[in-house]
Structure 1
Amino acid sequence: MEELKRMHYEAVKSYVSETMHAKKRKGFYYKVIELAGFEAYERDYDEEGDTYDWLKHFLLADCETLVSWVEYHADKLKFDYMKRLYLNRFSKSPVDYVDKEATYNAYTLFKKMNIRVCPYCEHEFLDVVSVNHGMQTKRTVEFDHFYPKGDEDYPGLAMCFYNLIPSCKPCNQLKMTNPVAANPYNPDIENLTNLCPDIPVGINIDDLSEADCKIKINPIGSMIVNESTLALEQRYDSQTSVAYQLLKCKQDFDDDKLLELERLGIGTVSELKREIFGKPRDEARGFELHTKMKYDLIGY
């Protein structure tokens, strides 16, 4: 994460310091230092002595800071310097770049993130693919703005790192300018849902049908808004049979059964789990679909 943030800042800094017109750069500085957290910065812009620490502070503001700015300083986020950069360079095409060295754009950031699954839903894959016999590069990944970049919303945050969420097209289209409240970058987000069917504890899975294993998202706190906006529970209807099979396997191969198989020399418990249930979540997360659902269902 630290390397991603460094790369993002350095690329935008390259644009601001070397490409942005001096008058606009000065105007950008004055807009930024109106926000909370910039009280110590000089009120007069020193172009020759600019270290761009203000830019780093702004671009890499954490989730809590973004929440505070949106809640208390929304009127100060109407400037469009970064929205133009997002539209004209960062997200325009595979061959348009933010920095003068032509190394950084949305495609670069996604590749460096090294994930293949949408963090909003974990229900869709994200890809950058070559089409037309390798003549074109296209992506199924969008960079959603957690806080919308519309002129009447928060255009000033268009290039803030924690406001750029890699997203599948279905999530991005469902969200648009509709609200979400739980940011995937928030380290506590995993604790805000429990993806399990509404079935009695300890019931014999053989007494159930697949239809009984419809996944419930069970959101709490800020995830209630995300679930409603992104229709997560409805989209997980397709996973009913998968949930049933996972619960059936967990019942048929509980810990005692796995230990028995290990004693018989068939394999170690960890080897047997991998063969029966696939990769554990710490390996599969970000690369396989529905790993949280699997973990919530069977603890693996």
Structure 2
Amino acid sequence: MLHINPNTPKIIKAKKAFQSGMLDFVFSRIDKIDKLNGVNTDLIKRFFEIHVFDLIDDLLIGKPEKLIQISDYLNPFIDFSTDIKKGIEYVFNYEIFIRKSKFRYGAYELADSLDIRTCIYCNRNYTNTVIKINGDKLTRPQFDHYFDKASHPSMAISFYNLVPSCSICNSSIKGTLKMSLSNYLHPYIDNNLNEICFTYRYTLESKSGLRINVKTPTSSKSSNSIRAFAIEEVYNSHIGELQDLLRTRQYFSDKYLSILSANLLYGIIVSKEDLYRIVFGTEFDSSNFINRPFSKFKSDILKELGVI
């Protein structure tokens, strides 16, 4: 799992835009509570006035630890009254948030401002946001709810609970898994990339004769997260990427990049980072792994091979 540094200018700006846009969204939904049918709207409005209004900013941009505290406070009321639950789900409505509206802030605006280009969980798939010049919204990453909506309905549109990810990790693999800060990595909190290491071994158990493994500390948040997203299994569907790296080591020396720079690029000033990106199609600096698929995997394997 990759880390999103919440203190970078880009993420700070994205969070401010989210807060501004979603305050309008939330209060417009609160204003429409009277339109709910089959519920005690007076009860819902009193509940929001007494228990929710002062918490709205924290519910939108509060850090994960704060979100859990608020959810633990609100959930007994939600569990006690189906009307209150319907009111919470109506106001903090994720399905409305992800609609492709041109006239209000929503999921596409958040994805565009975050500019997370690969899946946070697997770093295999691109998650670029594409919006046409005329405003038509074409594609964006899915947003995984780190804390599941069913257990924490008040967090359905919370900034730190919306993790940009690919559909495979979010829908096909994670699904409704209940995650906690004590047992799993949170991308905005934990920067444990050095605890996770891709490696490989030769084996007769596969057609290719190769097996990709992921090493993590035993019984750690890192190991739990790797298992939760089946990282070993999905990466072993990309054995071709490993084979290409092994061929690079076989055909060239361990000074491959130096030789390439000295001979093919003689007289051309190319930084080590740019050369690495050109040759391997991934990022050299770990803080940029998020920009290109397989960056973490290729970095670990190339280090193991002595190529970098």
- Structure-2-length-normalised TM-score: 0.69
Deviation at 1:64, TM superposition (A): 3.4
- Residue number in structure 2 paired with 1:280: 283
Alignment length (residue pairs): 260
Partner of 1:42: none
For the residues of structure 1 that align with 2:115 and 2:159, how far apart are their CA atoms? 16
Q: Tell me the CA shift for residue 148 of structure 1.
A: 0.9
* Deviation, structure 1 residue 162: 0.8
SS at match of 2:187: coil
State the partner residue of 1:165: 163
Distance in 1 between residues matched to 2:107 and 2:297, nearest whole Å: 29
Q: Which residue of 2 aligns with 1:224?
A: 223
Is 1:7 matched up with 2:11? Answer: no
Runs (4+) of structure 1 exceeding 6 A deviation are none
Distance 2:45 2:61 in 1: 18
Q: Deviation of residue 179 (structure 1)?
A: 3.1
Alpha-carbon offset, residue 2 of structure 1: 0.7
Go from structure 1 to structure 2 and tell me whether the alpha carbon gap of 1:104 and 1:298 turns closer, same or farther (over 3 Å shift): same
What does the per-residue CA deviation read over 1:228-248, in whole Å, with 9 as the maximum and x for residues that have no partner?
A: 332221111122231232244
Q: Which residue is 1:183 aligned to? A: 186
Instruction: Identify the residue that residue 155 of structure 1 maps to in structure 2.
Output: 153
Q: Contact 2:185/2:222 (CA < 8 Å) preserved in 1?
A: yes
CA distance in structure 2 between the partners assigned to 1:274 and 1:167 by the alignment: 23
| Aligned CA distance change for structure 1 residues 266 and 110 (closer, same or farther; 3 Å) | closer
Aligned partners of 1:18, 1:260: CA distance in 2, in Å? 62
Residue 292 of structure 1, CA deviation: 0.9
Distance 1:127 1:211 in 2: 32
User: Per-residue displacement from partner, 1:199-246 (whole Å, max 9, x unpaired)?
Assistant: 7xxxxxxxxx99454221224412333333322211111222312322
Structure with bigger RCO (C-alpha 8 Å, 6+ apart): 2
Amino acid in structure 2 at the alignment position of 1:147:
F
Mark the CA change 1:184 to 1:60 in structure 2 (over 3 Å): closer, same or farther. same
Kindly report which structure 2 residues correspond to 1:71-82, keeping only aligned pairs within 5 A, or say none. Answer: 75-76=75-76, 78=78, 79=85, 81=87
Does the 8 Å CA contact 1:149/1:158 hold for their aligned counterparts? yes
Equivalent pair of 2:281/2:292 in contact (CA under 8 Å): no
Distance 2:74 2:46 in 1: 21
The answer (yes or no) to whether the contact 2:283–2:292 under 8 Å persists in 1 is no
> 1:26-68: per-residue Cα shift (whole Å, max 9, x none)?
5235334xxxxxxxxxxxx7xxxxxx6x422332222333456
Does residue 145 (structure 1) correspond to residue 145 (structure 2)? The answer is yes
Q: 1:55 to 1:190 in 2, by over 3 A?
A: same
Q: Is the 8 A contact 1:210 1:244 kept in 2?
A: no
Code of the residue aligned with 1:225 in structure 2: it is N
> Partners of 1:80 and 1:219 in 2: how far apart?
42
CA 1:286–1:121: 2 relative to 1, 3 Å: same
Q: Structure 1 residue 289 and structure 2 residue 293: aligned?
A: yes
Structure 1 unmatched runs, 5+: 33-44, 46-51, 97-101, 200-208
CA contact (8 A) 2:122 2:169 kept: yes
Equivalence for 1:30? 50
User: What percent of counterpart residues are identical?
Assistant: 22
Higher helix share: 2
Q: Distance in 2 between matches of 1:145 and 1:269?
A: 39
Partners of 1:140 and 1:27 in 2: how far apart? 35
Quote how far apart the aligned CAs of 1:6 are. Answer: 0.8
User: Counterpart in 2 of 1:104?
Assistant: 105
Look up the match of 1:116: 117
The CA distance in 2 between the partners of 1:161 and 1:103, in whole Å, is 17
**Residue type at the aligned position of 2:153:** P
Change (3 A) 1:90 1:57: same
Post-superposition offset of 1:95: 1.8
